[in-house]
Amino acid sequence: AARLLVETALERPALYLVARATYRVLKDTTQRAMLHGDGPLPPLIPHQAMRGGSLGSGYRSSDETVYLANGAEIVFRSLEENATEKIRGLTLAGALVDQIEELRFEEGERLYDEILGRLSDARGPMKLLAIANPAGLTHWLYRRFVTEPDRGAATVHFTLHDNAVNLPADYVAAME
């Protein structure tokens, strides 16, 4: 999903959001994979595609923003308490929320709706990509994507076996 967001930003320059429940998990997982790579995998944002052709000139940690050479921007934000203030006022072309099931209860659903409301920049796809693990039958995601799907929502299911080629065989065996 992050790779798709980056490819879109490279094709359609505008402002894109990447978010997760807390800054700590955002920085340790999604942001790390996007800026530095994950294990043996290269960064999802090619450093040569950044402004100045490098991480040093294309990423500003003080405002958690990646500036791409084509003018696109990718902002990293946490969705902790009062997070609506962090995203309110943004005009987004696209967004990615990693592990959206971490956004619980009514506040999580309000944050989701706030992000959807920010997707108004027609230079991009105006879509939200959400990555989720199963959250249970009582989580708002189940209602919004399974029992009463939002108009325009699509769900894509993957299993461990769909990604087995990218994982160590002993890990797959242990998980089975």
pLDDT tens by residue, 98-133: 999 999 888 899 999 999 999 999 999 999 999 998
Q: Residue 25 pLDDT > 90, yes or no?
A: yes
pTM above 0.75, yes or no: yes
Report whether pLDDT(82) > 80: no
The pLDDT of residue 44: 97
Specify the DSSP element, H or E, that contains 109. Answer: helix 105-118
Q: Decide if pLDDT at 157 tops 90.
A: no
Quick: pLDDT tens for 27-57: 999 999 999 999 888 999 999 999 999 999 9
| pLDDT given at position 39 | 87
Determine how many CB atoms are found less than 10 A away from the CB of residue 46: 14
- The residue among 70, 69, 83, 76 whose CA lies nearest residue 113 is 83
Secondary structure (3-state) at 96 = strand
* 122: its two tokens: 């027609």
* Contact between 134 and 57 (Cβ < 8 Å): no
Average pLDDT, the chain: 93
Taking CA atoms, 21 is separated from 26, 57, 108, in Å, by 7, 27, 9
pLDDT band (50, 70, 90) for residue 93:
very high
pLDDT at position 85 over 90: no
What does DSSP say about strands 65-67 and 73-78: parallel, antiparallel, or unpaired?
Answer: antiparallel
Residue 69 has phi, psi (to 5 degrees) of -60, -25
49 φ, ψ (degrees, to nearest 5): -85, -10
* pLDDT (average), residues 64-76: 97
Name the residue among 140, 65, 27, 156 with its Cα closest to residue 36.
27
State the Cα angle at 83 between 78 and 84, rounded to 5°.
135
Summarize the confidence of residues 63-67 as an average pLDDT: 96
H/E run at residue 17 = strand 15-20
Q: What pLDDT is stored for residue 158 in this prediction? A: 87
Confidence grade of residue 134 (pLDDT, cut at 50, 70, 90): confident
- At 37 the pLDDT is 96
- So what's the pLDDT on residue 63? 93
